[in-house]
A and B are shown apart, each in its own frame.
Chain A
Amino acid sequence: MAAADVSATARTYLVFRGDVCALEIAGRPGTLRSMAAPPPGFQPPTHPFVDATSHNPATEHATREVLLASRSFEDFLTRLVEAGFDLASGHTDRWDVEEAPRRIVRAGQAVGAVWPQAGQFSSLWWQPAPDEAVYPHALVTSYDRALTDTLHGMVAATRSLDALEAALEGLDLKLV
């Protein structure tokens, strides 16, 4: 994560497709940066509600299409999830993420994502300070505002991924 890029008010996320990091985004006006080499004289475009850096050429077109359809940062996050991307707290060291996440699903609807590694709990609407809500067994992001506190409570109360999975099943939530 680029520490200097993160202001106190801007939430930041890493956007993954599977185990590939596609984007690093911050919820503030900023610049759109591609991995394509800029030709001489090129100026990267600015954007009114997102500062974003691509991490993967193969997903640039898809993420750009999602962005073009979005009307706010929250809308962008939601649409990314709907398009099959998963979001992790921007306080994550992206070089630590080596596996694809498993989605938390209820009635066919994705309500969160879990990475099998130490990491921070966050949601699409809330992000703790860098050293808060960090758990040793799971990196979790909630995609459902109503379930956020419940999910956070489960992560905090468990000590292993297996235990978390069992707790989730108790609420008809499945890891897929």
Chain B
Amino acid sequence: MHGSRVQRSQDGATTTAPDGATPGASDRGLSNQLRGMSYAEGAAMLAPPPGTHAPVQLQVDAKLRSVGLKGRLAGSSYARLYDLYGKYQKEKSPEGAQALLAQLDTAIDAWLAGHDGSDKEDAKRLPGVQNLSQQVKAALAGSPSTTETTAPTETTTAPTQTPTTPETTQTAPTPEPTPTETTETSGPPAPTDAPPAPVDPILARLADPTQVLTVNELKTLNATQLLSYLDTRDKGTVEALRNNNKFITHAESLGAPTFAQVTVRILLRTPDSVVNRGASRDEAIRIMTSQLRDPEICKRLLRNSAWVVIVPKNKLMTELPEFAQWAGTYTFDGRPWDITRGMGSFTAGNATAIAEENLLGEGVADGIGRRGWTSQAAQDTALANGNTELNEAGKAGPKSDDPNTRVMNPGVYCSGYSTTNHEFFHTIHGLGLSRQDQRLIQQAYDAKKSTPPETEWADGPRQNQTGSFSENYASSTVYEYFAQTGCAFQGTNRGTDPYTGRPRNNGRSWVTANEPELAGLLARVCSDSELQNVNPRDARTAPPPTTAPPAPTATTTTTTTTTTATAPSTTPGAAPPIVGDSVAFIGQR
């Protein structure tokens, strides 16, 4: 345990204190204490004793995820990687060099396996380590040469301090190195008794996230390196590439799958305020890439200034600058724009909104809501009588003491229903498809609207549960028709239609059989197979309660599903459900 001790409070929460340090030390102290351990070792150290109640385990997991602790652990592996590289360079005997090369290979693999993208420092190191990995593996596979590898540290990503031992870090916390520091401070003495490793200047600059490569330089990178570049550069650098025809032409030449990956990275914005940036971004890339099989769609989206922004789960959509213009305003059907959790874009330059909680299968943070009128008539009356007060945007909004108003909360969509998939289909519809394809969708929609109400759409028939006529979501507009049918094609249309209360249809086979015109178009738009595990709320839920779900009551509080959810847990059933999918629209939090 490297001389540390683990303390547990009465409620089971784990705190650690290095020997000689103040109990209950900060995360920085804990970080230093964990330095040098593998992730597994760190987890073991923090683990509660056998038989500990499950919530304690949850807190341990959360602790490991917090403030980059996992990254710090991975960072310690990075120090070992650096150390091995130094030894390898100094090794004189071919046998010893080969053995160190193998160790280095293992260490690199371990580091890459522990890198989950959630740590900013790790993310900066990633390109350099990936580059080194390629060179080491090539050396192991061919004629091993001690001069052909490029140190991950000779550019800017290496730790600048000598790797510290756990003992020293317990009493003298060491500042985390940053890439820029490395160019100004001394690292481990560079080996001078071995031939210097030739450094590809472009790869060296690739490894430095502050460096902006020219298009000609970018053209020398392979697909992995190019994506790595886009993943590690600042927003402005990446977004500027959309208007560079030379770059776009090159990216397209790398093949449709790579071009889709490049396109998504240019379109996608992940604000710093997103709670789990790495996982959210990865999932958004996975889903959006699956909708960009056609390079022509990619090019139109880039040309039409399409943007996609992840809305943090703890923020209103209108708190982001891309959607701030809608703060305090209302949708055409009378909802505050603030609380909506998704928006497609049909206008060049307007952003598409997708929600972090839906990407990760989580709930919206508590406290997210806006007051609104309970009905159209209530709003009419209030506006006519002047019974309003200025809202956040300085517009006539509902008065807090008006009984015909309520705090409205964002809904939570059921497991397996992807709003990212849905909203990005809107954006593809408006800004990515050709006029010919847009007309094809319109014609298919117009034709389908003339069929009897019992005809099945992606969201079921145009009948409510009593058999009376009711549009379903997919039949409500040509846009929802394409987006919902697209979701069904992708296998992400699970759940119940919000308008009719009837089950949705889902799956590629259903679309092929029932929407043949759109199936052909969607086959050109989407990847070969359906998406799996989108919005994985079920995977985070305890078994549903045995009590029957509440019967639907008033229209504003109708419940639609019975799935329940808990906080992420490795022990299903251990914690009580804390939120349901059936969050009512108005003021039910």
Q: Which residues of A contact B556 (CB under 8 A)?
A: 41, 43
What are the residues of chain A within 8 A of B350 when measuring CB–CB?
A: 57-58
- Kindly list chain A residues whose C-beta atoms are within 8 Å of the C-beta of B380: 68
In the bound complex, CA of A4 to CA of B585 (Å): 30
**What is the CA–CA distance of A44 and B471 in the complex, to the nearest angstrom?**
10
In the docked arrangement, what's the CA distance between A55 and B480, Å?
A: 11
Counting chain A residues whose Cβ lies within 8 A of the other chain, the interface size class is 35 or more
Q: A41-B584, A58-B350 are in contact. Are A33 and B332 (CB under 8 A)?
A: yes
Bound Cα distance from A20 to B331, whole angstroms? 17
Residue in A closest to B498 when the chains form the complex, CB atoms:
A38
* A117 interface residue (CB < 8 Å to B): no
In the bound assembly, the distance between CA atoms of A162 and B461 in angstroms comes to 50
CB <8 Å contact, B333 and A40: no
Contact of A33 among B337, B345, B439, B476 (CB under 8 A): B476
Closest Cβ of chain A: how far from B549's Cβ, in Å?
Answer: 12
Q: Please tell me which one of the listed residues A32, A36, A39, A46 contacts residue B343 in the complex, with CB atoms under 8 A apart.
A: A36
Task: Say what secondary structure dominates the interface of chain B.
Answer: loop
Q: Counting CB contacts under 8 A, is A52 at the interface? A: yes
Residues of the A chain whose Cβ atoms lie less than 8 Å from the Cβ of B438: 95
Interface presence of B344 (CB below 8 A): yes
B331 contacts A36, C-beta separation under 8 Å = yes
* Cβ proximity bits A90-115 to B, threshold 8 Å, 1 near / 0 not: 00011100000000000000000000
Query: Complex formed: what's the CA distance from A79 to B419 in Å?
Result: 35
How far is B200's CA from A78's CA once the two chains are assembled, in angstroms?
68
Q: Does B1 make an interface contact (CB < 8 A)?
A: no
Q: Whose C-beta in chain A lies nearest to the C-beta of B558?
A: A41
Task: Check if A158 is an interface residue, CB within 8 A of chain B.
Answer: no
Given contacts A35-B479, A68-B379, contact A40 B561 (CB under 8 A): yes
Task: Report yes or no: B419 in contact with A37, Cβ–Cβ below 8 A.
Answer: yes
* B340 is an interface residue with CB less than 8 A from chain A: yes
Which residues in chain B, 430-489, are within 8 Å of chain A measured between CB atoms?
435, 438-439, 442, 445-446, 449-450, 471, 473, 476-479
Q: Find chain B residues with CB under 8 A from A34 CB.
A: 331-333, 335
Cβ of A47 within 8 Å of any chain B Cβ, yes or no, is yes
Q: Please tell me which one of the listed residues A3, A37, A40, A53 contacts residue B412 in the complex, with CB atoms under 8 A apart.
A: A40
* CB nearest neighbor in B for A38: B498
A37-B340, A64-B332 known; A42 and B411 CB under 8 Å? yes
* Cβ 8 A contact of B585, one of A32, A41, A95: A41
In the assembled complex, B247 has its CB within 8 A of some CB on chain A: no
Q: Verify A41–B411 contact, CB threshold 8 A.
A: yes
A68 partner residues in chain B, CB cutoff 8 A: 379-380, 383
Q: Are A37 and B442 in contact (CB under 8 A)?
A: no
Hey, which chain A residues are within 8 Å of B52, CB to CB? none
Tell me, yes or no, whether B557 is within 8 Å of chain A by CB: yes
Q: How far is the CA of A43 from the CA of B586 in the complex (A)?
A: 11
Residues of B within 8 A of A35 (CB): 331-332, 343-344, 346, 426, 477, 479
For the complex formed, measure the closest distance between the CB of B325 and the CB atoms of chain A, giving whole angstroms: 8
B581 beta carbon closer than 8 Å to chain A: yes
- With known contacts A3-B446, A4-B450, A40–B332 Cβ distance under 8 A: no
Task: Kindly state whether residue A2 has any CB partner on chain B within 8 Å.
Answer: yes
Contacts of B558 in A (CB 8 A): 41, 43
Contact (Cβ within 8 A) B332 A52: yes
Is A55 within 8 A of B346, CB to CB? yes
Question: B370 CB to closest chain A CB, in angstroms?
Answer: 13
**A77 vs chain B, min Cβ distance (A):** 16
Q: Which residues of B contact A42 (CB under 8 A)?
A: 335, 411, 498, 585
User: Does B422 touch A at the CB level, under 8 Å?
Assistant: yes
Known A-B contacts A3-B449, A4-B450, A37-B423; the reply to A44 vs B585 at CB < 8 A is no
Does A1 lie at the interface of the complex (its beta carbon under 8 Å from any beta carbon of B)? yes
* A39 contacts across to B, CB distance below 8 A: 341, 410-413, 498, 583, 585
B376 contacts which of A45, A56, A57 (Cβ < 8 Å)?
A45
Answer yes or no: A63 CB below 8 A from chain B CBs. yes
List, in ascending order, chain A residues with CB within 8 A of B439's CB: 93, 95
Q: A35-B477, A61-B330 are in contact. List 19 more A-B contacts (CB 8 A).
A: A4-B446, A23-B332, A32-B332, A37-B340, A37-B342, A37-B423, A40-B412, A40-B496, A41-B556, A41-B584, A42-B585, A43-B555, A53-B476, A54-B331, A56-B347, A60-B337, A61-B337, A64-B334, A93-B439
Could you jot down 27 A-B contacts, CB within 8 Å?
A1-B446, A2-B445, A3-B450, A4-B446, A20-B346, A31-B471, A32-B376, A35-B426, A35-B479, A37-B343, A38-B411, A40-B413, A40-B495, A40-B582, A40-B584, A41-B557, A41-B560, A41-B585, A43-B498, A43-B555, A43-B558, A45-B334, A56-B347, A57-B345, A58-B347, A60-B329, A68-B383
